[in-house]
Chains A and B, each alone.
Chain A
């Protein structure tokens, strides 16, 4: 009984460390207009304090991303799984290296994708890890196309 009481008392002391109500509210979905992003360009928006890369990929980049054999990937995922059908040129990824949280630089590294300057992880044009210590692909945040030129992240 006393143990139950102790655990129940400990809960508020631990729970207070999680994001507070204001932080959660500020993390609500955002809408992003895609019209200003030309082919081959990318923008970085912030959602929940995280940088999100939105990249308008060139035909060549899309083809490269789709052609890669899955067996050569440390974290196998097809490009189709990482983009929305009908909007294949758009790559939306969280710009946080899955190793230790640095921000990779877009259009760098030998795969023309992302390169993390901290510990040398290299991602391809689909944001998939190709080389370096990072264990996983760049995360794809939850998002949906509201129209052809507008997405909602979150």
Chain B
């Protein structure tokens, strides 16, 4: 399609370059004059969206790498310091973390589009296979990236995934040791994953170049599935496709920004705000949502090796699709049966995704097996069979005919329904992981928080009172190690002046040294110091507290959650509900019962708490009425203490939350304007083409 370009620059300097390196001609023939089918719908904008996301991930990733420390002891802290101390660090981190999810969301739409319209069929087999390779590379990159923050899910996800290779007969164990660089997942593993996570995106970019090259040789497929024949079938890439892609990207950005600014933790796992601990496995190990369907396949097969083979097979089988489906008609629009099976397949994939997040027991295992069989049957039975028995509807003679036939009947409502379905499905899978923690836990009641919603702000009074409760009660056992005294004077915080923060710091004794005599000494705290922890190390904390170490509270409101249940978590996406942690915490602090209910066997040294998972908590009832006196006359009740200290801890977990929501509003106003302008420009450009 993109033959030698007839592009000739007029400027003599450009002419000089062009004669030696015809790069402008290449760009002109590939992205300006390049003919694209006239009948492409918005599903075709996802190619541009994906290119955009790749560029975004590389740009934010390179910057994050400048601040990140790939060491097992420092990685978790360095990520927190990026979010807290680096200018706009919270934004860059959210862009990168949510960007990974958006990247996968877009790639799934792109793949399903290819599946529906038969974009893998002759002459686009190589194009398709290159796409499968990109997808595999993306999965490897995404997995290694998830390991880098070195939280509990990072560590245990890495353990589970690397152990997949131990299923290989004879050499499996040696391969796993080779991957780890040790006898378990540890610092060497983190280091090499960081190196590879930095490398692979550039490999992806290289394969993307091949992918686009192959695309430009074969030409784009289109909804009608008939090839371009005459000039009337096509429009030039620029301005038509360019403006349409730009509009597509701007709409996609709205979704992306929704996550970045309002729901940054919606797709993540609360457990990953707990630093990696090789001695404790989380109750449910759940991969990121985009791997869940394959994880479900892995778990539904009771044999280890067979499970691993099936999981990888589920991806590899895509590469053979061009030969499994030998039907001559490309587009499912003209294949009445294939169309129905396609939608069943989409539901199967979403169903597998949901099951991947559920505990591997009972009905989930059985349904998982059924869906696994259906997944493979689609490729191995349904598609080969349909190619033989299905009677396709007549194809339009040309793309131009297809466009003319369509002008009367608008298909837009159908498309938007499908988009809504896809998003709902993605969300369904995405937040299904939250459901996993549900069992054996009573749901805490919802509270009204000043910091919830798109315009949420912290209540300064509550922050100051909460700080007092922390200082006088919680700090006896719990650290707050990521918060510095200087933060108390930061904008968006408790609203103290720099002098007040310094005075607050000076009340603390901080260990420093060594001095000139080589000895450690104590001095009054300075604003730059961090809240000192009550115990020198985890073992001491454990020994002093009956075997259960009191967790550090810096991130506790983000590290705790509870199952929202279906369909609440779908509504949460629209209401921006992000306060599971605070709701749980405030309920826990008030959830103590003097006597456990009859029949409950309370272990010695434990206390009964309605909202604690399993109910037996080692922490004694921490708050009682009148324990702390407030200067502002607020009631000295447990309810008030609990709410105030939770507000304070929410701020401690995310000190830049106000800045995030404020910037989010500005970005949304801008993006809506941009998308609107692009839409009308697009309409104008395409006015003659439809």
Residues of A that sit less than 8 Å from B by CB: 14, 17-20, 23, 27, 44, 46, 48-51, 99-103, 116-120, 133-135
Contact = CB atoms under 8 A, between A and B. Distances in A.
Interface residues of B, number: 36
Given A133-B303, A134-B304, 11 more contacts: A17-B181, A19-B180, A46-B279, A49-B182, A51-B279, A99-B163, A102-B160, A103-B279, A117-B282, A118-B156, A133-B299
Nearest to B187: A23
Nearest to A16: B181
Contact of A133 (B166, B180, B307, B359): B307
Given A18-B181, A19-B183, A20-B188, A102 B279 contact: no
A71 to B, nearest CB: 19
Contacts of A99: 163, 304
B279 A48 contact: no
A23 B187 CA distance: 10
B183 A17 contact: no
B55 interface: no
Nearest to A118: B285
Contacts of B278: 46, 49, 51
A122 to B, nearest CB: 11
Contacts of B178: 14, 17-18
B460 interface: no
26 contacts: A14-B178, A17-B178, A17-B192, A19-B177, A19-B183, A20-B188, A46-B278, A48-B184, A49-B182, A49-B184, A49-B278, A50-B183, A51-B278, A99-B304, A101-B162, A102-B285, A103-B281, A117-B281, A117-B282, A118-B281, A118-B284, A120-B359, A133-B299, A133-B303, A134-B304, A135-B303
B638 interface: no
Nearest to A44: B279
A56 to B, nearest CB: 18
Nearest to A96: B184
Interface of B: 156, 159-160, 162-164, 166, 177-184, 186, 188, 192, 278-285, 299, 301-305, 307, 359-361
Contacts of B301: 133
Query: DSSP majority for the A interface?
Result: loop
Interchain residue pairs A-B with the least CB separation, the first 10? A49-B184, A48-B183, A101-B163, A100-B160, A100-B163, A102-B281, A103-B281, A101-B159, A135-B304, A120-B360
Contacts of B305: 135
Most A CB within 10 A of own CB, among B183, B188, B301: B183
Contacts of A23: 181-183, 188
Contacts of A48: 182-184
A135 B361 CA distance: 17
Nearest to A27: B183
Given A100-B164, A133-B299, A49 B181 contact: no
B537 to A, nearest CB: 15
A49 B281 contact: no
A99 B159 CA distance: 11
Contacts of B299: 119, 133
B283 A117 contact: yes
B170 to A, nearest CB: 14
A19 B192 CA distance: 12
Given A17-B192, A19-B183, A134-B304, A117 B284 contact: yes
Contacts of B284: 117-118
Contacts of B162: 101
Given A49-B184, A51-B279, A18 B285 contact: no
Contact of B160 (A50, A117, A118, A120): A118
B280 A119 contact: no
A115 to B, nearest CB: 11
Nearest to B180: A19
A123 B155 CA distance: 24
Contacts of A19: 177, 180-183, 188
Contacts of A49: 182-184, 186, 278
